Amino acid sequence: MILITGANGRPGSATVREFARQGTPVRALVRGPEKAEGLRGLPGVDVVYGDMLWPETLKSALAGVDRVLMISGAGPLMLETQCTFIDAAISAGVGHIVKFSGKDSVDGFDNEKFRSSRSHEQIQRYLFAAGTPWTVLQPSQFMHVYFEEVPDIVGSGELRLPLGDTTLAPVDIDDIAKVAYAVLTTPGHEGKIYPMTGPEALTMAEAAQHISEAIGKPVRYRDVSSEEKQQDWLKAGYPPPRASAFAQLFEERRKLGHSTVDLSTHRRFDIEPTTFAQFTRRYADIFRGDTQYGVTPV
C-alpha cells in the first residue's frame, strides 16, 4: 500500500487525484474528518486520520504501507514533524520514503539562509542516515502561489511583488504530482534526487501579462519594496513570522536576480511541462476572482 501525507494540502491533494485518475489505490493521511472534505468520493482513495507529530496516532495509517510520499507544511514545525514521521514510518516497516522537498530556481540560492530550505536540508540528511531507501522531489516555487495575489489582481489590476526584474521559474503542481505518481509506482528511483522547475524563467511583468491575457483584463506588475509587501501580507492575515520570512526570501531572490530552468525530471518521466500561460488559462476563473482555489474532483 502507498500512503500520501499532507493529502489535503496543495501538492498532496494533487498527487492523490493523480492516483485516482490512474485508477491506482492509495491511502491519504489527513489530521481529521474535517480535513477530508475534498478527498471524499475519489475512486480508490482510502482516507485515514493521524498527526505526523504523534506516532501513536499513525498506527493504523502506517499498517501494511510499503511506500510513503512525505509532505507537511513549510512552517516552523516541519523539521520535527518530518523527522518524527520518518522514525514512525521506519518502525512500522515502510520500505521506501519519498520526501517532498523544495529547491529555489534562483541561481546562487543558499538553502542554509532560510528556515524552511534549511529544514528540508536537515530532514534530507536525517532521511539519508536512517538507512531506509529514499527518493527526494525538489520542485521550485509552485505556480499555485500566484493565487495568493488574486485579491490585488482583482482589486487594483496589479501583481504587487518585491522582485524588480528578477526571473522565477514556477512549476505546476500537477506536473509534480505526475512525477510523484511515477516514483511511487515504478521501480528504480531509490537514492535519486529529482529537481524540477517550470519551462520558463519569467519576470513578474511577464507573469502579469500571462494573467492579463488569461482573464481578458489588464494586469500590471508593480514592483514594491519588501517592506510594503510585508505590510500587504500582514493585512492579508499572514502571521508576522511568516510575513517576515517571506520578505527576507523575496529580498534574496531580488538580489540574486536570475533563475535557471531545469526540465531534466520532466524529460526523465516524459511529462510535457505546463507553461505559465497554460496554467493561467486553466485557472482563469480563479485569477478573475470568480472561484476559490480548492481540491477539485478528478
Ligand X SMILES: NC(=O)c1ccc[n+]([C@@H]2O[C@H](COP(=O)([O-])OP(=O)(O)OC[C@H]3O[C@@H](n4cnc5c(N)ncnc54)[C@H](OP(=O)(O)O)[C@@H]3O)[C@@H](O)[C@H]2O)c1
Contact residues toward ligand X (CB under 6 A) are 5-6, 8-12, 31, 35, 51-53, 71-74, 78, 81, 100, 102, 116, 139, 141-142, 145
CB of 117 vs ligand X, minimal distance in Å: 8
Three-class DSSP category at 88: helix
CB of 165 vs ligand X, minimal distance in Å: 21
- List the one residue out of 59, 61, 2 whose CA is nearest residue 30: 61
Which residue lies nearer to ligand X by CB, 84 or 220?
A: 84
Give me 73's grid cell.
Answer: 507544511
- List the one residue out of 192, 202, 201, 200 whose CA is nearest residue 268: 192
Which residue lies nearer to ligand X by CB, 143 or 208?
A: 143
CB of 201 vs ligand X, minimal distance in Å: 16
Which residue lies nearer to ligand X by CB, 157 or 203?
A: 203
Which residue lies nearer to ligand X by CB, 31 or 67?
A: 31
Give me 297's grid cell.
Answer: 474532483
CB of 212 vs ligand X, minimal distance in Å: 22
Which residue lies nearer to ligand X by CB, 75 or 157?
A: 75
CB of 161 vs ligand X, minimal distance in Å: 14
- Of all residues in this chain, which one has the CB nearest to ligand X in the complex? 9
Query: ∠ CA 19-277-210 to the nearest 5 degrees?
Result: 140
Cell match 499532507: residue? 6
3-state secondary structure 42-80: CCCEEEEECCCCCHHHCHHHHCCCCEEEECCCCCCCHHH
- List the one residue out of 268, 236, 25 whose CA is nearest residue 137: 268
